[in-house]
Amino acid sequence: MSGAVFYIFGATGDLAKRKLFPAFYSLYREGKLGDDFAVVGLARRPRTNEQFRDDVKNSIQDFARYKNKDGAEWEKFAEHFEYMSLDINNVAGFHELNALTAKLDTKYQTGGNRLFYLALAPELFGNVSYNLKEGGLLNTQGWHRLVIEKPFGYDLPSAERLNGQLRQVFEEKDIYRIDHYLGKEMVQNIEFVRFANAFFEPLWNNKYIANIQITLSETVGVEERGGYYDHSGALRDMGQNHMLQMLMMMAMEPPSRLHPEDIRDEKVKVLRSLRLFENGDDVRANVIRGQYASGTAKGKALPAYREEDSVNPQSTTETYFAARVHVDNFRWAGVPFYIRTGKRLPVKTTEVVVEFKNIPNNVYLAKKHELEPNLLVFRVNPMEGIYLKMNAKQPGSEGVIVPVAMDFCQSCQIGINTPEAYERLLYDATRGDSTYFTRWDEVALAWSYVDRIAAAWNEQTEDLKHYPAGSWGPEEAAKLLTDDGFKWWPINGQNEGEVDWEAVQKTTVLA
Ligand SMILES: NC(=O)C1=CN([C@@H]2O[C@H](COP(=O)(O)OP(=O)(O)OC[C@H]3O[C@@H](n4cnc5c(N)ncnc54)[C@H](OP(=O)(O)O)[C@@H]3O)[C@@H](O)[C@H]2O)C=CC1
Ligand SMILES: O=C1O[C@H](COP(=O)(O)O)[C@@H](O)[C@H](O)[C@H]1O
């Protein structure tokens, strides 16, 4: 990497501690940062450089893939970190920051390259970018990139306002909007599996695929984020970004080149093809929302959402939603995409299931047997891998057909040491590769899709269902599929479905 100064705005916050410092350390240990870099931590509270380096060290001990094993290496790494107390709203502080950076530019031969990471509450994003310009931090020769966290706005109008503020200072090509799901190994793998395998791409259409199911389930509640979450809800927190991004990866056409803009062009076309809900009734027929009530998980009593800290006791914010989504283009016409996400569900998992259509039922095997459909499952999180379920003769039987699985468990083979999403994204931003960041038109289209749902929900709240914490959400979500002759496929054997995945015979593990 060519030299650069990295600025972490919000360096005393949770994201910096849990994700960013560990990501820097992994990249450093892997030689991806080189030695010509400085990291400047910025936040209001006072910290000496030594205290800040201790914060970084503690975060690495707690959260990094590489632990702080080697004292000499740690010391070398820590020297790259500096701290400056700064209030985002104070322009004078930015002039001071510029003076500090000039020294770092010389020390590390950065060529004026600067990456500004905003790990801050979104309402501060606009001010930072304006003050960066005012403070002279963009007056150098090298590249200047702005990495911003989600949420990018609350709805389309607020996202447009924010984008307008950022664009007064940065060009679109220099704005890296994070969606950390795009940094996940298996989400990135979707396009490789699709486009690098002769036996998938020909089947990847409405002739052979019956439906696609995307599940992002979480066992946690809102934890300490009640204040943010109660104004957001599952649709904005997970639907507008991570879920639609995964849907785009599944549905996009092959890009003509593996160039970031070509890939993002194809993703945007998927968003443009989403069938928009026409009115409130249409939303209610296709989107189910829920909120967790008290319940139990693993014998532990769990509070209701309305009892969580910083949550309105009468809140109607959804902690769960499931939707039937249609992509109205030639490839996907008639294939429903079912998406669901929720907090306080029984397992933490992210999975995408592709259910293939059954073989014609007049051929002899299907006449004699109840055949299960073939499934291709992308296991994104926490297990990483690909699972293919098919039918085969039970060994030793007289033609008994059983479901068997080809299970490529990536996390079993590579272990838990696969790079974390933030590592990949940070590395990509340092290299100027924006493929796995979201472009403005993606963000805007995703908001306009989600805003229609939110508007219908605002009209009335009677359709909000309460589900016990620790359950799979409102029963109505099952009906979305049963009405179409489908069902949610079990997640890691934990669903109330009939198939016991552990019992499914594992025939082959690919090397
Ligand atoms: N935490 C997470 O897991 C995730 C977070 N995000 C996003 O990342 C961003 C940061 O989240 P998170 O780290 O959790 O938030 P925190 O509340 O933990 O941290 C906020 C940071 O901003 C600083 N800050 C607040 N006001 C100012 C100000 N006026 N001037 C300078 N610094 C200020 C705080 O430091 P101080 O008080 O010292 O000024 C603190 O370092 C948010 O946009 C969030 O949505 C996204 C995905 C996951
Ligand atoms: O962006 C968010 O994602 C997390 C879930 O991320 P994961 O990588 O652990 O699957 C979610 O808990 C949080 O509410 C949301 O803001």
| Global ipTM | 0.98
Which ligand is nearest the CA of 94, by number? 1
- Rounded to the nearest whole angstrom, what is the distance from the C-alpha of residue 221 to the centroid of ligand 2? 11
Look at ligand 1, atom 17, and give the residue with the nearest C-alpha. Answer: 13
- Ligand 1: centre distance to CA 21 (Å): 14
* Span 322-359, pLDDT tens digits: 999 999 999 999 999 999 999 999 999 999 999 999 88
Residues having CB closer than 6 A to ligand 2 are 218, 237-238, 350, 381
Give distance in angstroms: CA of 84 to centre of ligand 1: 16
Q: Which ligand is nearest to the CA of 15?
A: 1
- The SS3 of residue 327 is strand
User: What is this structure's pTM?
Assistant: 0.93
**Is 148 annotated in some ligand binding site?**
no
Nearest CA to ligand 2 atom 15: 237
* Atom 8 of ligand 2, nearest CA residue: 181
Q: Is 17 annotated as belonging to a binding site?
A: yes
DSSP 90: -
Distance 11 CA to ligand 1 centre (A): 8
Give the catalytic positions in this structure: 242
Q: Give the count of beta carbons closer than 10 Å to the beta carbon of residue 384.
A: 22
Q: Is 265 annotated as a binding residue?
A: no
Give φ, ψ of 491 to 5 degrees.
-100, 115
Counting ligands in written order, the one closest to the CA of 342 is 2
For residues 425-429, average pLDDT = 97
Cα of 126 from ligand 1 centre, angstroms: 14
Q: Does residue 416 surpass a pLDDT of 60?
A: no
Q: What is the pLDDT of residues 134-147, one digit of tens each?
A: 999 999 999 999 99
CB 243 near ligand 1, within 6 Å: no
Q: Name the pLDDT band for 498 (thresholds 50, 70, 90).
A: very low
Could you tell which of 15, 48, 231 is best to mutate to test the pocket of ligand 1, judged by most ligand atoms within 8 Å of the CB? 15
446 is in an annotated binding site: no
Both tokens of 119, joined, read 């790990």
473: left (phi over 0), alpha (psi -120 to 50) or beta: left
Q: How far is CA 252 from CA 202, 268, 270, in A?
A: 14, 8, 6
What single-letter DSSP state applies at residue 134? Answer: H
Proximal ligand: closest to the CA of 178? 1
Comparing 506 with 181, the larger pLDDT belongs to 181
Cβ–ligand 1 contact at 426 (below 6 Å): no
Pocket probe for ligand 2: among 19, 179, 238, 340, the residue whose CB has the most ligand atoms within 8 Å is 238
Q: Which of 187, 283, 186, 307 is nearest to 235 (CA)?
A: 283
More confident residue, 372 or 95: 95
237 assigned binding-site residue: yes
- CA–centroid distance, 120 to ligand 1, in Å, is 4
Mean pLDDT of 287-308: 96
Sheet of strand 349-356, all strands in order from the earlier edge strand to the far edge: 464-468, 287-293, 320-326, 336-342, 209-217, 349-356, 375-381, 385-393, 401-409, 505-508
pLDDT of residue 413: 66
- DSSP character for 274? B
80 is in an annotated binding site: no
Residues 6+ away with beta carbon under 8 Å from 291: 305, 306, 315, 316, 317, 318, 319, 320, 464, 465, 466, 467
The answer for residues whose C-beta is within 8 angstroms of residue 148's C-beta and 6 or more apart is 118, 125, 166, 175, 176, 177, 178
Contact 141, 111 (CB under 8 A): yes
For residue 454 and ligand 1, the question of a CB distance below 6 A is answered with: no
Type of residue numbered 169: V
Name the most confidently modeled range: 219-223, 365-369, 396-400: 219-223
Q: Which residue has the tokens 């892997």?
A: 30
